[in-house]
Structures are given as structure tokens and as C-alpha cells.
Amino acid sequence: LPPAVAAATGLDVLSHALESYTAIPFDSRPKPARPLERPAYQGCNPISDIWALRALDIQKQHPTRSVIGLALDQPKYRILVVEDKWESRKLLVKLLEPLGFEVREAENGKEGVALWSSWEPHLIWMDMQMPVMDGYEATKQIKAHLKGQATVIIALTASAFIEERAVILSAGCDDFVRKPFREEEIFETMAHYLGVRYVYEEETSATSPQRSATEALTREALAVMPAEWVAQLYQAANEVNNQQIFQLIEQIPSEHGQVAIALTDLVRNFRCDKIIDLTEPATS
């Protein structure tokens, strides 16, 4: 181990963490009654990201399949997206509607509660930080009703801390997905809780779509964002501040989604060094 890592963490602590990682079992069968098991934190720091390492191993063992539609003989699933940021709402709508889901949107918790009451969606994607009424209060109000108990609510959160999971679940959410999310996380979660069946297009490997996006990531590609944003990304990568990096990725417009995907892949593969190379100020 690098001396700096050993000194900062203590060999005993690190050894215990690695032993815990190798001993963690994985069961790929869905368990609808329980929240999906996800990495506690996904980022660049190899000491605090034991769960992320485990998730990457699982990805390598289970090739990714692209969803191209919904299987026949299923209910017409109603999906409500409650999100105050227009770009984030449209990203989910554009992802789900073409596949055959019926999707409606609300831009704050108050609108979300009203639309839930009149439309009765099967599942709600609920942002937790919104004006007027946040996702915590909206979830509590929905789950206070008998019919709300049958509505699946999945929180969308930019928080990278595992402590946030307990707060979200205590509000009544069934599970949560961190931003920025991957398409497969959205599809997997809906299959887990609603039993949705998809039509797939087989991919040759789990990493090929992300690898191609990452290889295409250049300084020129990042130039679509303001210089101040690039400087903030450089600073966050230098500090290995994964939460800040994810918050900056969220600001990327949907039309530049490949840039967001590539940056997310770099963070989750512990490649902050690559982000630094791409954003480092040019020397005169």
C-alpha cells in the first residue's frame, strides 16, 4: 500500500475493511420487499469505497443489456416524476416515455401530492430537495393515506452519504437512487418494485458503452461548460470531493448527456486523475 494511505488509515483498519469486502455475499435475485442493495458511496477514494469496488466486480460478471422496450402483456405503468429542475425531469421523461411508460411530471412536492391523488401512479421518482414542498414532506403526506401505502416512492438524491439513506427511508420512501444516475439503475429499480419486464438488446460487455463515452471525453468536449465550472471540477477532483463532482455533473445540460456519462464513469472507476488531466489549467 502507498505509505500515505497506510499512514492515513492505519493498516488494521484497512485490513478489516478489505476482509469485509471480500466476505460480502451477492444474491442477484430480486427481493421486492426490501430496498435494493447499492454501494454506500461511489467515488474516487479507494479506502472509503469498498462497496463501490464490490459493485464494479458485479458489473463485470453481469453484462449490461440495453432496454429497447417493454415486454407484452403488462399493465400500462403510470410513472410520476417529481423534480424541480427542468433538465432532470425531462431526462427521466425522455428515458421512460419512448419505452411505453405513461409519464407525468410535477415541479415540486405540492404539485406531486395533488397529481398522485388524482392520477394514482404506480411509482413516483421523488426529488428530495425542492421549493414549495420538499420530497420528504410530500412522501410523508402520500404514505399517510391507505392508497399511498401501495404507491412505490423512490427518492432521487445528490447526497453521497450513507446516513442520508436512513433519513430518506424514515420519511416513507421505499428506496433511493443517487444522482447522477445510470439508465440501468432506473430500469432495475422499476423492475424490482413493479415487476416490469423489458425487451433487451444484448451488449457485448458491461463497460463498452461507458468506455466509448469516456474515450470521447476531451478538453474540447468539456468546453461546452463555462470556464468557472471547469475550474470548480478541477478543484473538486484535486480534493477527491466526489459529492461536489456529482453536483457539478448535474449541471450539465441534457443535450450533452454523453459528457455527464463519461465523467460519472471516471468517478466511479476511481479516475479523478483523468478528470484532473482534462481540466488542469494550461500553463503559459
C-alpha cell at 183: 439508465
Distance, CA of 6 to CA of 35 (rounded, Å): 34
Most confident of 67-71, 170-174, 267-271: 170-174
Domain 65-202 - what CATH class?
alpha beta
DSSP assignment of 164-180 equals: HHHHHHHTT-SEEEESS
C-alpha cell at 80: 410520476
Distance, CA of 7 to CA of 179 (rounded, Å): 32
Q: What is the pLDDT of residue 34?
A: 58
Which position has the grid cell 468539456? 222
Residue of 243, 246, 231 lying closest to 278 (CA atoms): 231
- Band of the pLDDT at 202, cuts 50, 70, 90? low
Q: What is the pLDDT of residue 125?
A: 98
pLDDT for residue 241 is more than 80: yes
Distance, CA of 189 to CA of 18 (rounded, Å): 28
Sequence ranges of the chain with CATH classification 3.40.50.2300: 65-202
pTM over 0.75: no
251 or 242, higher pLDDT: 251
Percentage of the chain surpassing pLDDT 90? 39
Mean pLDDT, residues 222-251: 90
Percentage of the chain surpassing pLDDT 70? 70
For 39-52, the pLDDT digits (tens) are 444 445 443 343 34
Q: What is the pLDDT of residue 283?
A: 61
Most confident of 119-123, 158-162, 197-201, 211-215: 119-123
For 104-154, the pLDDT digits (tens) are 999 999 999 999 999 999 999 999 999 999 999 999 999 999 999 999 999
Provide the residue type at 93 as one letter: V
DSSP assignment of 126-166 equals: EESS-SSS-HHHHHHHHHTSTGGGGSEEEEEE----THHHH
